[in-house]
Amino acid sequence: MDARRIAVAAAVAVVLLGGVVAAVMVAGQGGEEAAPATTTTSTTVAPTTTTPPPPTFPLTGLPVADPALAGRPAQVVKVDNTSKARGRQAGLAAADLVYVELVEGGATRLAAVFHSTDADPVGPVRSARTSDVALTANLNRPLFAYSGAAAGVLDIVRGANLVDLGFDVQPGAYQVRGSGVLRFYIASPTFFGLAAPGAGPPPPLFAYRAGGAGVTAAGAEDARGVTLSYGGLTNTQVSYEASPAGWARSQDGSPFTEESGARIEPANVIVQFVEYASSGFVDVTGTPSPEAVLVGEGEAWVLTGGKLIRGRWSRPDLAAATTYTDSAGAPIGLTPGRTWVELAPPGSATPL
């Protein structure tokens, strides 16, 4: 039995081995192959990401290089703009935004707003007016540097939405050059150092075009510039002419330059036509002091990107930013950079 079992097992083994050899031969001769092993692969789709735009300064639309500067409050400095101050003005080219306001007798005064850039010195620093309360109300409680005001005006300023850093409050922070009303100057870094802990930056006030984008506002026209007149006894005359840097400013027939010799050439100019009402106060000569009406709406001319856009301004309340729209009602996009706003009487401007 054992021999028989061994013989049977050997026979089976031979048969199986022969089958394997035959299968291999058939495969090698192009016969039908066995189905390959099945493998499963998975594909992972990467999520789509959108790169957020780089942060920009709220008052210029320019890229933020130093986050510490972007996080600080705005600083507003009142600067003399009479003929006696010409050649002595300093720091204005570094201001993000400058408002030109009518004061007594057709003279004008400047409210220079600093945020992204510092300047030392800035001045000559002059007194406050009631128009300044409306100008600063939408800047998120800015620092306010000025050299005094009439008693009633001081009360209004000190009750406004700003940080009072007038000469009477911080005399040691002011630089004194000689004597007379044009003797006060400041260094903007010194005043930024007086900001309260937790003070925040100003909100954006303008819409900006993307870098390099052309002007597409409705009704935009090629322009060489504008001239305007503030009336009154002084009748300050201002003009802006298109230049490679933006719009070159002149006043009373002369190029508007600082004591350094630098010409003022902002990237944008807004002529905001506003009514002036009586403030109820007079200056030291007894001349009535006007107050700009900055809530409501009216006509506005915007010089930007080599174009003149005739549109409208609107501001529903003091806390709101002023919006500037074209003839189709769309926001007017400014060139990223510095802006001067002329708060001019209605009908006072003419295109060049």
Cross-strand pairs, 164 = 144
Residue 118 lies in a domain: yes
At 53 the pLDDT is: 76
The CATH number covering residue 324 comes to 3.50.90.10
Alpha-carbon gap, residue 55 to 69, rounded angstroms: 12
Q: Over range 144-169, report the average pLDDT.
A: 95
At 190 the pLDDT is: 98
Residue 6 has pLDDT above 60, yes or no: no
Token code pair at residue 194? 């007086």
Residue 19 has pLDDT above 50, yes or no: no
151: pLDDT confidence band, cut at 50, 70 and 90? Answer: confident
Q: Are the CB atoms for 274 and 345 separated by under 8 Å?
A: yes
Residue-wise pLDDT for 306-336, tens only, equals 999 999 999 999 999 999 999 999 999 999 9
At 98 the pLDDT is: 98
Among 18-22, 82-86, 218-222, 331-335, the least confident range: 18-22
Q: Are the CB atoms for 80 and 89 separated by under 8 Å?
A: yes
In angstroms, what CA-CA distances link 146 with 165, 173, 190, 284, 339? 7, 11, 14, 17, 21
Tokens 């303008």 belong to residue: 206
Token code pair at residue 175? 């630089």
Residue-wise pLDDT for 176-197, tens only, equals 999 999 999 999 999 999 998 8
Of 228, 209, 203, the residue nearest 267 (C-alpha): 209
CB count, 10 Å around CB of 72? 19
pTM: 0.85
Q: Over range 270-293, report the average pLDDT.
A: 94
Q: Which secondary structure element, helix H or strand E, spans residue 340, and what is its range?
A: strand 339-344
Alpha-carbon gap, residue 155 to 149, rounded angstroms: 9
Q: How many domains does the chain have?
A: 1
Residue 52 lies in a domain: no
At 52 the pLDDT is: 75
Residue 61 lies in a domain: no
Alpha-carbon gap, residue 88 to 79, rounded angstroms: 11
- Average pLDDT of the chain, as a whole number: 88
Residue 153 lies in a domain: yes
Token code pair at residue 169? 């409050």
Residue 187 lies in a domain: yes
pLDDT cut 90: percent of the chain above it: 82
Residue 186 lies in a domain: yes
Token code pair at residue 145? 């540097």
Residue-wise pLDDT for 230-280, tens only, equals 999 999 999 999 999 999 999 999 999 999 999 999 999 999 999 999 999
Rg (CA), the chain: 36
In angstroms, what CA-CA distances link 102 with 33, 131, 211, 295? 97, 9, 33, 16
Burial grade of 153 (CB within 10 A; 0-12, 13-18, 19 or more): buried
Residue 34 has pLDDT above 70, yes or no: no
Which structural domain, as residue segments, surrounds residue 345? 67-351
User: How far separated are the first and last CA of the chain, in Å rounded?
Assistant: 127
Residue 149 lies in a domain: yes
Residue 90 has pLDDT above 50, yes or no: yes
Residue 16 lies in a domain: no
